[in-house]
Structure 1
Amino acid sequence: MDREETAANAFEGGQTMVMGRVAGRSLKEERLTLELCGVQIQKADKTDVFGKVVLYISQKDAPRWEEELAVGKKARFLGRAQAIKGALNPGEFDFKNYYRSKGITVKIYGEKWFGSEGEAYPYPALIERVREHCRRVLKQCCGPEDQAVFEAMLLGDTKEMEKEQRKLYQNSGIAHLLAVSGQHLAIIGGGIYLILRRLGFGFAGAGAAGAGLVISYGLLTGGSGSAMRAVIMILCLWLAMGAGRTYDTLSALGLAAVVLLLREPYLIFQSGFQLSFGAVWAIAGPGKWLEEQLELTAGWQKGAAVSLCVQIVLTPVMLWHYFQYPLYGMALNVLILPFVPLLMYSGLLAIGTGSVNVFLGKAAAGAGHYILMYYDWLCRRAEGLPGYCLVLGKPSWGQIAVYGGVMAGALWCLARGRQKNVFRGGKQLPGKRYAFLALAVLLAVFFWSLSLLGPQPAGGIQALCLDVGQGDGILLRTGCHSILIDGGSSSEKKLGEMTLEPCLKRFGITTLDMAIVSHGDNDHISGLMCLLEEKRVRIGTLALPIGGRGQEIYEKLEGLQKGAGGKTIYVKTGDILRAGGLELTCIFSGEGKNMTDRNAHSLVICADFEGFHMLFTGDMGIEEEKRLLKRAGEEGGELQKTHLAHAAILKVAHHGSGGSSCDSFLKALPQVKTAVISYGAGNSYGHPAAEVVKRLKTRGIRVMETGGKGCILIESP
């Protein structure tokens, strides 16, 4: 894998010839995604072999893809190779780790297909036909929303789910319904196994048939880590039954982990793998131990104990990957889980009967429709409750260790209390009453312990210059305060959803003290607009440039902020904004010239925190730089002169454009030792200009760039 990662970089840029065998495929939004194995990539005189790559090609460029690009066929393409990069900013999804878990280090953007050769593998083709048949039947028998949930539950395919529906399930803590689990396999494979046993088949015959079905179903649903874990474990159960041996859940779980990790070691870093294995371990380990120690007999007691143990184990995992905890998730699961088998039977019957008659399929799907309506109603009601979804951020290893120690201590104390007998008023507390009291105490300790995993204040000050592509976005954190300066990109279309919101959640930020807009160009506000439009994060104060007052874009921003319940101010030269010990002083706002040019009225802000001094320049040009310097040299220009003199870090104007950062301006910044340039890799503007970088380095200034290299973190203790 490491060799492939190194080799992948050599093929970036320019066209490459790619040849490999199709190992998997999927179609989404008219784009065909292929997984190729045994791949040879050639570029000029360089040739190398990769175990597996992912290739994207437009469906119109592969008109006969169903037959000619079937699994097992060898295909040849012309395309552009790119090494798969990791997360560029805190909180972003890590595509590198995701694809590493599938053995992939390279992605190819296909431009031309040269045909294929060889024979398709019949078994994968059969699996694919069954999957497509099931999808077609569900589409005929269900409404779009029901179809999306059934496809996720039964086929392991979530691509048809609306973003809002998926988010509702995730925030409510019931997203596990959308993952294929042991319950699915128990119902499908186990059901067939029991039917065959009742028909007189022996352990071997029924087990072989059930095993074949279970393995096929696991592959049909995508072969995810959680699905294949369940496949291996249920096969272990049947083998134990056939051999007359005792089945041990933890041993089967360990075997499943070994088998999967030997094949793909990086699976261990995936959230699905951790949650799936963590849940089973919690049930068979701490959950079973607690049942025994408290001598629980009632079904509700056992269920409550196991559910609590699952929550205790999985909470740090959920926060590590998703940064939030559904406060009412346990209660909602108690209300929805009894209906999950019915929902699955409804979907399976819809597929089975709908294959014969659409009317019968619709009737079968009807029960599932009302169950899903009930789920939706429950989640909508929970949404309105206080603390519905706690954004706690990503906990540190130290926090997780303290949390784990507290919860382990609580479990041990409750178990010891039962062993030593608990007395009240000289009488032994009955077992049932003690069990109820113990579970109530454990629940209280668990909810209290969430505070141990909560967001930690920033020590000193942190400036995160985010890699937003062709744009600007800087997050300042000090103590419990957070300020966003700009937040837009002309190259990243989903910046707010994919970068800004995850970054803020990663630090447990649900409310920004302030968002400062240097000027209203799209590459400085697109992500911020998303946060405001979709109310993803609350902004206390929105600060806009005084030079743009009355312009349409600023009025739109002001209207969105008002609709979100926040305050808007217009900033002019001399204004000082404060957040804790941080002072943000506007030393220039472009006054005195034509304000219709947005770059010309960019706010120039100096951030001061104890010994930390950083200058933010928006997209000001050379003309504005000279006017600022002129102002600093005039009577009454002490504000500008002082802040220019003590600034130690410079956010370079206009993404390093040649129309900014002139010699006279840089000369007026004698203390600047570090300059940050934010731009998109391979942009068409030529940013940063070579002459600007040269001017900075000539003055002994260290130049730090985003440009696909990732977020730049500057800290001051």
Structure 2
Amino acid sequence: MLALTSWLFIPAMIAAGMIFCGCRRGRNPLWVFLPLVFFYLGSARAGLEIDQLRERDIRLLEITGYYTEVQGSISSIAEEKGVVSLTLKNNRIRKMMKWKWEDVLYEPPGIMVSLKECEGNSLKSLGIGQIVAVRGEVQPFSQARNPGEFDFKSYYQSLGVDFTLFAEEIDIVKVGKSPLLESLRKLKVYGKALLYRDAIETDAGIFTAAVLGDKMGISRDIKDLYQKNGIAHLLAISGLHMSFIGLSFYKLIKKAGAGFWGAGLFSMVLLILYGILTGAGPSVVRAGVMMCLGFYAACLGRTYDLLSAASLSLFFLGFQSPSLLMQGGVQLSFGAVFAIGAIAPVIQGWLGKDRLFSGSISACFAVQMITLPVTAFHFYQVPPYGLILNLLVIPLMGGVLCSGLGVIAFGSLSPVLGTAAAGTGHYILSLYEILLNIAGKMPGSSIILGRPGIRRLVAYGFLLTGCIFIMKLFSRVEKEAEKKNNDTVGKLLFLTGFYILSIFLLLPEPVKGLDAWFLDVGQGDGILLRAEGACMLIDGGSSSEKSLGEYTLSPCLKSLGVSVIDYAFVSHGDLDHLSGVKYLLESCEDIQIKNLYLPYHGRDEEMIQSLAALGKNRGACVQYLTGGDVMKIGKLVITCLYPGKDDIPTDVNGESQVLKMDYGECHMLFTGDMGEREEQLLLEKKKDQLLSEVNVLKTAHHGSKYSSSESFLDAVSPVWAVISYGQGNSYGHPHEEVLERFNERNVSVFGTGMNGAVRLETDGTRIRFSTFVDGTRNHGYNVKKEKE
């Protein structure tokens, strides 16, 4: 929620700009300063929500870890792979204390209940509007603990859902269901069944998402394909879908003989019901409000203003949940509308309204330019060919919607008719897949920009504003001179050049000095180093996070603007040090590993051999590292201290590469999972001078008491130590003995299990630490003790 307050400067700047323009044009002061009033009201509403969320977080801690009962009203029901998910509202909570139920002063607006389907349970009798009592274990939503990770806590809280309850028992307290809402739910279930019966499975998943708002059936490959090419919006109920369906309702009712008022009111009711049926997500609410205002304007015989309708729907959503406005999907949805309403007319006027396809080109370009920084900020990469692809695929989306609706309508009469209706959509979706695969194989099909900082976003805003101002100025000059510029090709080249320039403007800034991230990978290790224009990864695996590469490592790299890992080191062959690296080599096409360094003594192990084969298949240079190997990258020097070729490790952990990194006066030691025996062997190699200058220690074996011995710590004498371990791990890491040893030596300790990712920044003279979760634990070099 801190992001919400930091982003309030954007509406403040907009309000200030509106006031300035209003004053320049001599408008009524009452209307000129109205934006400022709404800004302060919005700020107050945002502050109130922040306070409420903090209070709810405190209350949530009171029930976490206890057997809990929640009594609430069912507002939605979903089922996937034998697991039923309920959303409850109007909740009352009790927790079990000393074998007695105790009421909790905590009324979350919504909770999610997960129920495993089993025999004897009356899950099929559940319906919308029923009041149920569920008992089980509370599971808070996870917050982002690394750069680039999806923040489930923030997302669900913006939707008014505080936590998940994994229910073991359920009782129906009130049997009565909501007739209307339950009928809509059954209609949705019926329509979904028809789609999967009469269309092939891949098409059915897309039909169900586009028509009914249920994306559970879309395969991961299809989602990635659409997302990577910038047309993922077609898989969700959006303004495009709502407008198509709403206008279809309106025209059909008009043709049936209804007047403006009858057709408008009836269409509004149908559109609202359809919005509820599809889940009433933010984009659906936005489109629904705008369509209803359009029908109302038609009934009154008044002009419909797109920007006013969008602003009103934005006001409703923002008042309901200010934090909802920070979600990427909401920003993309409203950004597209404002682009079409405010910017597209300027571009079209400059291109020439009578030009062929000028409307479509203007709309697509405007939407692309407005959503480009939003896409980079939330998804870290952009598809440069997305502009062209949208021009090709959006006009055909009406055929997909008609096909999906036809399957439901005609399939209810006959399976043969339903299958026939699915044909049109099938061929369009097949064409989509061909186009996306062609675009994906083209050079530069996806550019990783990372999350742009505030300076780049402001610079982009000034650049876009300047471009629009120039277009408007030239349009006015041409109009006053009563002369048309027929150089359409030149104008299109200008737009293309501006689009390319915009992408370059958002490219990540080069790292100054050394930037190191000790990632929170759960029970495992993962360290990312960036310096001298190169990127290095030391380990990257976890035994507790099964999808580490997909949901943590890959998003983190992309958010930091990393598309190439120049050097990847794997200390030894345990899964908790290499699972993420394996994912990057095996499944992540967007990130390349140039050089892969594997442990010399693990070269005969199956896990290391498999990793080497994957590296060679991806074009990486695979080498085996051993004691004495040195690598220099500008000011950065990496030395392998242990084990040498002549050393004989007794187990896999003993094979761990011990790497020393030197960058000016910053000296880090990475120890993998080495044990006390290996520590003593390293000390016997008379590396005292190299070890004594170490000031940052990456603690061995996740803080196990069988490592970090007293003699080793005395020889190294670090100023700071970082321990990588999983929160609540079953091994008890870090062990109390290790923490006591550090405390006795006055070592500042950072733990990923407590602090999330730990960041180290240095210019070679001063060192600064910060933590991702709280961001407040900072230490400047020379503030604490210096090495002797």
For the superposition of Structure 1 and Structure 2, which TM-score range results when normalised by the shorter chain?
A: over 0.9
Aligned to 1:693: 739
> Could you state the TM-score of these two structures normalised by the residue count of structure 2?
0.87
Over 3 Å counting, the alpha-carbon distance change for 1:355 and 1:708 in structure 2 is farther
Q: Is 1:474 aligned with 2:521?
A: no
CA shift, 1:208, in A, is 2.3
Aligned to 2:150: 93
Per-residue deviation, residues 122-156 of structure 1 (Å, max 9, x unmatched):
22211111111111111111111111111111111
Counterparts of residues 302-341 of structure 1 (less than 5 Å):
302-341=359-398
Q: 1:666 aligns with which of 691, 700, 713?
A: 713
> Could you state the TM-score of these two structures normalised by the residue count of structure 1?
0.95
* Matches of 1:374 and 1:290, distance apart in 2: 30
CA shift, 1:37, in A, is 1.3
Contact 1:674 1:701 in 2 (8 A): yes
CA shift, 1:203, in A, is 2.5
CA shift, 1:497, in A, is 0.4
Q: Which moved more, 1:440-449 or 1:214-223?
A: 440-449
CA shift, 1:422, in A, is 11
Q: 1:684 aligns with which of 730, 753, 761?
A: 730
Aligned to 1:637: none
Counterparts of residues 147-546 of structure 1 (less than 5 Å):
147-292=204-349, 295-421=352-478, 431-536=484-589, 537-546=591-600
Aligned to 1:647: 694
Q: 1:624 aligns with which of 678, 690, 703?
A: 678
Q: 1:81 aligns with which of 133, 138, 159?
A: 138
DSSP 3-state at the match of 1:18:
strand
Aligned to 2:65: 13
What amino acid is the match of 2:522? Answer: G
Contact 1:82 1:106 in 2 (8 A): yes
CA shift, 1:371, in A, is 0.9
Over 3 Å counting, the alpha-carbon distance change for 1:660 and 1:62 in structure 2 is farther
Aligned to 1:58: 116
What amino acid is the match of 2:691? Answer: L
Q: 1:552 aligns with which of 576, 601, 606?
A: 606
Over 3 Å counting, the alpha-carbon distance change for 1:580 and 1:134 in structure 2 is farther
Over 3 Å counting, the alpha-carbon distance change for 1:130 and 1:574 in structure 2 is same
Contact 1:301 1:436 in 2 (8 A): no
Percent identity of equivalent pairs: 37
Q: Which moved more, 1:644-653 or 1:293-302?
A: 293-302
Aligned to 1:709: 755
Aligned to 1:120: 177
Structure 2 residue runs of 5 or longer lacking an equivalent are 1-52, 764-788
What amino acid is the match of 2:719? Answer: K
Contact 1:226 1:273 in 2 (8 A): yes
Contact 2:448 2:562 in 1 (8 A): yes
Contact 1:62 1:113 in 2 (8 A): no
* Matches of 1:116 and 1:454, distance apart in 2: 56
Q: 1:565 aligns with which of 599, 605, 619?
A: 619
What amino acid is the match of 2:563? Answer: T
CA shift, 1:266, in A, is 1.5
DSSP 3-state at the match of 2:105:
strand
CA shift, 1:46, in A, is 6.0
Contact 2:406 2:418 in 1 (8 A): yes
Over 3 Å counting, the alpha-carbon distance change for 1:368 and 1:315 in structure 2 is same
Contact 2:380 2:450 in 1 (8 A): yes
CA shift, 1:415, in A, is 2.6
* Matches of 1:579 and 1:84, distance apart in 2: 41
Over 3 Å counting, the alpha-carbon distance change for 1:303 and 1:480 in structure 2 is same
Aligned to 1:38: 90
Contact 2:349 2:475 in 1 (8 A): no
* Matches of 1:278 and 1:676, distance apart in 2: 42
What amino acid is the match of 1:54? Answer: M
Per-residue deviation, residues 242-289 of structure 1 (Å, max 9, x unmatched):
112211111100110111122222210111111110001000001123
Contact 2:702 2:733 in 1 (8 A): yes
* Matches of 1:715 and 1:61, distance apart in 2: 56
What amino acid is the match of 2:363? Answer: V
DSSP 3-state at the match of 1:583:
strand
- CA RMSD across the alignment: 1.9
CA shift, 1:689, in A, is 0.5
CA shift, 1:679, in A, is 0.8
CA shift, 1:14, in A, is 3.3
Contact 1:54 1:108 in 2 (8 A): yes
* Matches of 1:708 and 1:358, distance apart in 2: 56
What amino acid is the match of 2:346? Answer: W
CA shift, 1:434, in A, is 4.3
DSSP 3-state at the match of 1:60:
coil
What amino acid is the match of 1:571? Answer: L
Q: Which moved more, 1:26-35 or 1:565-574?
A: 26-35
CA shift, 1:102, in A, is 0.7
- Report how many residues are paired: 704
* Matches of 2:176 and 2:256, distance apart in 1: 39
CA shift, 1:528, in A, is 1.1
Contact 2:134 2:167 in 1 (8 A): yes
Contact 2:215 2:236 in 1 (8 A): no
Structure 1 residue runs of 5 or longer lacking an equivalent are 633-639
CA shift, 1:21, in A, is 1.8
Q: Which moved more, 1:388-397 or 1:189-198?
A: 189-198
Q: Which moved more, 1:651-660 or 1:544-553?
A: 544-553
Contact 1:304 1:439 in 2 (8 A): no
Aligned to 2:784: none
Aligned to 1:636: none
* Matches of 1:581 and 1:92, distance apart in 2: 31
Contact 1:305 1:439 in 2 (8 A): no
